[in-house]
Chains A and B, each alone.
Chain A
Amino acid sequence: MTRKGAQVHAMARSFAGLARWRPGRSRRAPLGPLDYGRRLWLRIVVALTFILIYMPIVTLMVFSFNDSRRNIVWRGFTTKYYVKAWHNDGLFEAFTNSLTIAVVSTIVSTIIGAMVALLLWRFRFPGKAAYEGFMALPIVIPDICLGVAMLVFFARIGWPAHMPWPLNLSAITIAHIAFSFPFVSIVVRARLAGFNRELEEASRDLGASEWQTFRHVILPYMKPGLIAGALLAFTLSLDDFVVTFFTSGPNTVTFPVKVYSMVRFSVTPEVNAASTVLILITVLTTILAVRFQNPARN
């Protein structure tokens, strides 16, 4: 588990410009005292930081096409490792497991998370601050504590270890939902915070019932938040290694756990290829999530 959601809504607003972005003429105006964005030394420092951040990922992706098993020297373009990864049964099964878990976890987390968001947005109740803190707990505690707790829990209550697919994934899915839906609720609530309560009152004033108001006024407004929350839950589940590592049995291997067991021994091009695929899925999901979170578009 990561802390992705914690800052998601803080940055969501800043993405308003993404949709509006278009390259324009460059101009050379004299540098004002607060034009830090145009100071050369700062630009160089930041560019170096970005290179440091992206270089390992980009080289990993590039060398997944390198026609050489061991060498880091470029030996020509090939896609054979993608084919190999595709035909690697263990890897393929792990990938299917990961996707299955992610889809179920996303659906359940989105529903529960949206309900919690509505609850906190709508109602005043005693102990609300404590309840909010409680909801944020899965976000703040270290992954390993959560993983360990899940391991102990499922072992103690005697959760059946050998069930037919996909029931054997149930323990992992339950754990994923537990840390995903609080993130969803934060994202959805951030969206609801911008809702003008007068719209609701106007709807009621025009004769709509409570349910009709929810269905036709509030829910459409929530939609971008729901989609962004769902995409977040999806990547959270797909990316999770630590919690899954502790919850999974020997027969329930997910993609990150499989990759872990492979990379512990060596760096192989198949892993590069499979990782590249996962990176591309994540990048796509990120861009989509950012687009949907952008309030200016709605």
Chain B
Amino acid sequence: MSNDIVSVQGVSKRFGSVLAVDDVSFGIPRNEFFALLGPSGCGKTTLLRIIAGLEHPDDGAVIIDGEDMAGIPPNRRPVNMVFQSYAVFPHMTVAQNVAYGLRVTGTPRAEVSRRVDEALEIVQLAGLAGRKPHQLSGGQRQRVALARALVKRPKVLLLDEPLSALDAKLREQMRLELANLQQQVGITFIIVTHDQDEALSMADRIAVMNEGRVCQTATPDVLYESPASRFVAEFIGKVNLFESRVLGANGRTLAVEVGELGALEVPHEKAGPREGAAIALAVRPEKLTISTAPPDGDGRARLAVAARVINWAYYGDTSHMYVRTEKGLELNVNIQNTTRDTAESLNVGDAVWVSWAAADMIVLEE
């Protein structure tokens, strides 16, 4: 833990009767791009504001670079923030905005102007130094907010939903830019977002939050392929869920009974749940294959179930098929439209087979 630039230890924050942040702990190593992901109202912004010093926790501690931040006001913390609304001062020019944080701390004039130029260069706004914020586009204003924070050379840069105010195209472009920028400046970034794509594509590690608690902290691929809980599985991507009961465990696999599928074995590395416990099995829609003929075994353990197409939605690159098994279970299957005629091959009411590898089943306890 001592190597962590930010360490959040048992932090809680209550607003009236609402527990916004509930005993949260995690550590962030130096130079990591860390994301706090969760639905609105999960406490992620409050947590970010607690790190910035804009809110004080009721309980717990925030340690930044080995220093306890208790009682230290926001203006004396080695962190800077990019606000959701950007909060670019409307009465100052771009250059004055960027210079503000240096001027108020008494940086020599020559150094201020050198560092401001540098920061504007990094965010590609060098030509707009004399503009007022109202003359800028939303994307440009965001760059000003970024430059204004980066020019302070903070130990940690905090970004509160930085892309939410941008349109879809610009958002995608900024994701890449932000990730590159983080590599370039070598500063720890903590980003708050409710957009899973944003977190998955940019962050080194993600903490998924719900109702004030951290549900899981992991790399994007682990979060997606091995979610630790039903909430995480359902919040990140789509999932088909099977309610099931544990029959027994033998080290590497878990024998379970699924109502719709019968008894089967799924891989499970961890010390498994007790016999007889109710668990859920999950499989991602793109792991499912759909065919008109019954699939034949291909060496790996494969599960198959007969169903009928009840609905489908066409998305261009993919199609989402909704099928219902004979026992009434509804499944969602994503198909890559790899050829130009795939979309028209199936109709509502067609009898199909859905199959997938048992190894793609995720075991969700609780």
Contacts and interface: CB of A to CB of B under 8 A. Distances in A.
Chains A and B share a contact (CB less than 8 Å): yes
A33 B54 contact: yes
Tell me the dominant secondary structure on chain B's binding face: loop
Interface stretch (A23-31, A126-134, A222-230): A23-31
A29 B74 contact: no
B54 A32 contact: yes
A210 to B, nearest CB: 41
Contacts of A29: 14, 56, 58
B273 interface: no
Contacts of B74: 33
A33 B56 CA distance: 9
A32 B55 contact: yes
Interface string B38-76: 000000000000000111111000000000000001100
A34 interface: yes
Interface residues of A, number: 7
B297 interface: no
B16 interface: yes
Contact of A27 (B16, B53, B55): B16
A30 B54 contact: no
A31 B245 CA distance: 50
Contacts of A27: 16
A225 B55 CA distance: 40
B68 to A, nearest CB: 15
Of the four ranges (under 10, 10 to 19, 20 to 34, 35 or more), the interface on chain B belongs to 10 to 19
Nearest to B50: A32
B53 A33 contact: yes
Interface string B299-332: 0000000000000000000000000000000000
A32 B56 CA distance: 6
B270 to A, nearest CB: 39
Nearest to B53: A33
Contacts of A33: 53-54, 73-74
B56 A34 contact: no
B16 A30 contact: no
A31 B57 CA distance: 10
Contacts of A34: 54
A28 B79 CA distance: 27
Contacts of A31: 56
Nearest to B49: A32
A33 B50 CA distance: 11
A170 to B, nearest CB: 52
Contacts of B14: 29
A31 B53 CA distance: 11
A162 to B, nearest CB: 61
B314 to A, nearest CB: 34
A31 B54 CA distance: 10
Contacts of A32: 54-56
Nearest to A30: B56
Interface string B279-300: 0000000000000000000000
Contacts of B56: 29-32
B89 to A, nearest CB: 16
Interface string A24-47: 000101111110000000000000
A33 B75 CA distance: 10
Nearest to B16: A27
Nearest to B74: A33
B4 to A, nearest CB: 24
Contacts of B58: 29-30
Contacts of B53: 33
Contacts of B54: 32-34
B19 to A, nearest CB: 12
A246 to B, nearest CB: 44
Interface in B230-278: none
A33 B69 CA distance: 14
Contacts of B55: 32
A34 B58 CA distance: 16
Q: Give the interface centre of B14, B56, B73 by most chain A CB atoms within 10 Å.
A: B56
Nearest to A28: B58
A32 B54 CA distance: 6
Contacts of B16: 27
A32 B14 CA distance: 13
A31 B56 CA distance: 7
Contacts of A30: 56-58
A216 to B, nearest CB: 40
B236 to A, nearest CB: 32
Interface string B132-173: 000000000000000000000000000000000000000000
Contacts of B73: 33
Interface in B1-26: 14, 16
B71 to A, nearest CB: 9
B57 to A, nearest CB: 8
9 closest A-B pairs by CB: A30-B56, A32-B55, A33-B74, A32-B56, A33-B73, A33-B54, A29-B58, A32-B54, A30-B58
Interface of A: 27, 29-34
Given A30-B57, A33-B53, 9 more contacts: A27-B16, A29-B14, A29-B56, A29-B58, A32-B55, A32-B56, A33-B73, A33-B74, A34-B54
Interface of B: 14, 16, 53-58, 73-74
8 contacts: A29-B58, A31-B56, A32-B54, A32-B55, A32-B56, A33-B53, A33-B73, A34-B54
